[in-house]
Chains A and B, each alone.
Chain A
Amino acid sequence: MRAWPALISGVLFGLGLTLSGMSDPAKVLGFLNITGAWIPDLIFVMGGAVVVTFLITPLVTAREAPLLASTFSLPGKQLLDRRLVGGAVLFGIGWGLSGYCPGPALVSLLYGYESTVVFCLAMFAGMALEGPLSRLFAPS
């Protein structure tokens, strides 16, 4: 599989996150703060993105194969399970505490702020802990 197309995709993603204001945690918290001085920007960000993916995804996946790889690598799971919902609950709480989700946090490393560096280190630590923690609490 070739790798260079991912660079283009990354540039577009970084442009999208920063132009839209998603890399500003105050704006994200302002969006989640529905009872306060609500900032609706994120509706337009998510709306714009999802309209594009909703319309184009079926056209792409109707193809036999991607342009530069042999197969599509799409998540195969269909069933809802506790890991999905539990993970989304933990992620939602974490997101609401700082206003950072993974994309905006990573692109904000550019700004050289202590808080974004600390956030990203903690995020990778959390990712590394997921395996051991899940095994610890898994019903045996």
Chain B
Amino acid sequence: MNAYLLPLTGGVLLGLSAMWLLLSLGRIAGISGIAWGSLAGPERLWRTLFLVGLLLGGLLTHNVIGQPVPAESTAPLWLIVTSGLLVGLGTRMGGGCTSGHGVCGLGRRSPRSLVATLTFMTLGVITVLVMQSLMGDAV
């Protein structure tokens, strides 16, 4: 089987998920916004159900379809904490993450989402380069 068939299939499913949420409820499938809104509200119910579904989808992949579970990150915990803080802070400030700006925003032809996506992609690449040179294979 082609090595890129699974990534492509997964990507199409992400797109279809976003389109179903837009068609049914008129909402953007932005995970950072949904995650925060499920705690802070308003309208916690649909957001909580989305997150429950997210976990069910993962269970289907690994427990029903049987795809192996990926290995745990090898990054030290201080790095994980820093990363999580920045991801939380940045996605709230910038109004979205890979899903809201990337998957949904690009589909909506939103200039803000295009700028955000190019920015976080670029910074992701730079960060990996910097960390590689600082810490080598430890990360």
Chain A interface residues (CB < 8 Å from chain B): 1-27, 29, 32-36, 40-42, 44-54, 56-57, 60-61, 63, 65-69, 71-75, 77-80, 83-103, 105-111, 113-116, 118-131, 133-134
Q: Is B49 an interface residue (CB 8 A)?
A: yes
- A98 in contact with B97 given A10-B52, A123-B87 (CB within 8 Å): no
Q: How far is the CA of A130 from the CA of B72 in the complex (A)?
A: 28
Chain A residues whose CB sits within 8 angstroms of the CB of B75 once the complex forms? 25, 97-98, 115
Closest to A29 in B: B128
Distance in Å: Cβ of B96 to nearest Cβ of chain A: 8
Could you tell me if B31 and A96 are in contact, using CB atoms closer than 8 angstroms? no
- Residue among B4, B28, B73 with the highest chain A CB neighbour number at 10 A: B73
- A119 in contact with B22 given A1-B43, A49-B14, A92-B90 (CB within 8 Å): no
Distance in Å: Cβ of A49 to nearest Cβ of chain B: 4
Distance in Å: Cβ of A8 to nearest Cβ of chain B: 6
Main secondary structure of the interface of B (DSSP, over half): helix
Could you tell me if A50 and B115 are in contact, using CB atoms closer than 8 angstroms? no
- A91 in contact with B19 given A17-B58, A41-B4, A53-B104 (CB within 8 Å): no
Chain B interface residues (CB < 8 Å from chain A): 4, 6-29, 31-32, 35-36, 39, 43, 45-47, 49-62, 65, 67, 69-75, 77, 79-95, 97-99, 101-112, 115-117, 119-129, 131-132, 139
Could you tell me if B15 and A49 are in contact, using CB atoms closer than 8 angstroms? yes
Could you tell me if B94 and A91 are in contact, using CB atoms closer than 8 angstroms? yes
- A5 in contact with B87 given A17-B57, A45-B8 (CB within 8 Å): no
Could you tell me if B9 and A96 are in contact, using CB atoms closer than 8 angstroms? no
Closest 10 CB pairs of A and B: A14-B57, A10-B53, A87-B94, A126-B88, A20-B10, A53-B107, A48-B11, A92-B123, A52-B15, A122-B84
Could you tell me if B97 and A113 are in contact, using CB atoms closer than 8 angstroms? no
Some 25 contacts from A to B, beta carbons below 8 A apart, are: A2-B25, A6-B25, A10-B17, A12-B17, A13-B14, A16-B13, A16-B14, A17-B57, A18-B10, A33-B129, A44-B7, A50-B11, A54-B109, A75-B28, A80-B111, A85-B116, A88-B115, A92-B122, A97-B79, A106-B31, A111-B72, A118-B77, A125-B84, A126-B87, A127-B88
